[in-house]
Amino acid sequence: MILVPLRRAAVVVTAALAALLALAAPAAAHGADAPDGTDYRAEVIALAPARPGLTVRVVEAGARLELVNRTARDVEVLGYSGEPYLRVGPGGVYENRRSPATYLNQTIAGDTNLSPEADPAATPVWRRVAKGQSVRWHDQRALWLESSPPAQVTADPGRPQRVRDWVVPLRDGDQAIEVRGTLDWVPPPDAYPWWVAATLGFLAVAAAGLAPAGTATGVRALRGVGALLALGGLATVAFTVGRELDAGADGLGGVLGLLNGQVWMLLTGLGAIAAGGYALARREAADFALALAGACLTIFAGFANIAVLSRSVAPVVWPATAARVLVVLILATGAGALGAGVLRLHAASR
């Protein structure tokens, strides 16, 4: 009977979910305050004067700046009062415990309480925080922290416009260096067409569950839903990689090293691919696998990224439109597989 394979599948899936949660828990802090989408685009436009081996870029959809120093000299990032804040060089990354920026930059909102030892006029007290020659940090000079838009944006929100030019000062020995950048308002897109596309896709995929399971049409429908669910899983993996690249990963090795930051979404995508293959092979309890994997894909990869549909700047390396297409595909195939699986399970139970 169908109850036996269902029980076996339930045991396997429960164990897998427990393992995934255990893996995801310690990684939750990675990029925890990076936005899922924003309407403000921060960009670095110049490093003046330029230094070979010294680069600065914006990562995590504008949430952080990243400085890479491949020179043989230490470079300091100056804080909001001109005090030494970070030091990056051959010896690693150090932060000044006396700099107020050390505490204010712990969150994107800058709402961390200052330590009693914070004093920008005091002699720096350096503490090593990382190996290597790169560092990422929130910087209020490159962010818009207010809950409401600037006055000029409120007056004309439908037009792209400059919010401000910003400068982050660096120091190389006695030489002053400026990281110059811009912060622009980019009008958000209309999310309605994307929701319509996701809904129509969901209905089309879920309708395959109405085909009688014991017929040739039902077999083709099962395989079709499995293939579409696997496609949604591939879209999830692609979105995860794009998000990690935007978070500062450099090349394939960097992506593999940073995937713990998005482990839940990544493994959800891989699980959807596996469940799709399970359905394509017409294995026992394939309907249950489709429903469960579809639910996970919808919640942990689709709804977790719905901000992309209504924000102009997505936390991926490619254009925001491509990110919206991926999210719509994830929602349509995940919810559709859930619907189709439930319909087939209901028919089998009768």
Confidence of residue 259 (pLDDT cuts 50, 70, 90): low
Neighbours of 7 (CB within 10 A): 12
pLDDT greater than 80 at residue 22: no
pLDDT at 283: 82
Q: Place 282 in a pLDDT band, splitting at 50, 70 and 90.
A: confident
pLDDT for 298: 97
For the stretch 120-132, what's the b/e string if a residue is b when 16 or more beta carbons lie within 10 angstroms of its beta carbon?
A: beeebeeeeeeee
Render pLDDT for 303-332 as a digit per residue (tens, 0 to 9): 999 999 999 999 999 999 999 999 999 999
| pLDDT given for residue 14 in this prediction | 43
Q: Residue range 82-102: average pLDDT? A: 97
DSSP code, position 112: P
Which ranges of 187-303 would DSSP assign to H, the alpha helix? 192-206, 216-246, 251-258, 263-280, 286-296
Specify the pLDDT at position 257.
52
For range 105-109, the mean pLDDT: 93
156, pLDDT greater than 60? yes
The answer, yes or no, to whether residue 52 has pLDDT greater than 50, is: yes
What's the predicted TM-score (pTM) here? 0.84
pLDDT of amino acid 137 = 97
Rounded to the nearest angstrom, the gap between the alpha carbon of residue 303 and the centroid of all alpha carbons in its chain is 13
Stated as kind and residue range, the H or E segment containing 320 is helix 320-349
Contact (CB, 8 A) for 56 and 169: no
pLDDT of residue 34: 76
pLDDT tier at 253, thresholds 50, 70, 90: low
Rounded average pLDDT over 49-65? 95
Residue 60 CA, chain-centre distance (Å), reads 8
Q: How confident is the model at residue 7 (pLDDT cuts 50, 70, 90)?
A: very low
Task: Give residue 252's pLDDT band: very low, low, confident or very high (50, 70, 90).
Answer: low
**Average pLDDT, integer, range 128-143:** 95
Rounded Cα–Cα distance for residues 156 and 174 (Å): 44
> Please, which pLDDT band fits residue 11 given cuts at 50, 70 and 90?
very low
The full DSSP string for 288-309 is HHHHHHHHHIIIIIIGGGTHHH
The pLDDT of residue 348: 85
Neighbours of 330 (CB within 10 A): 33
Helices (H) and strands (E) in the chain, counts: 10, 10
- Check residue 254 and give its pLDDT: 56
Span 229-235, average pLDDT: 98
pLDDT of residue 21: 40
**In this predicted structure, what is the pLDDT of residue 27?**
30
The phi-psi region of residue 240 (left if phi > 0; otherwise alpha if psi is between -120 and 50; otherwise beta) is alpha
Q: Which pLDDT score, from 0 to 100, does residue 92 have?
A: 96
Give me the pLDDT at residue 177, please.
97
Instruction: Please give the share of the chain, as a percent, with pLDDT higher than 90.
Output: 76
State whether residue 127 is helix, strand or coil. strand
* Average pLDDT over every residue of 155-164: 96
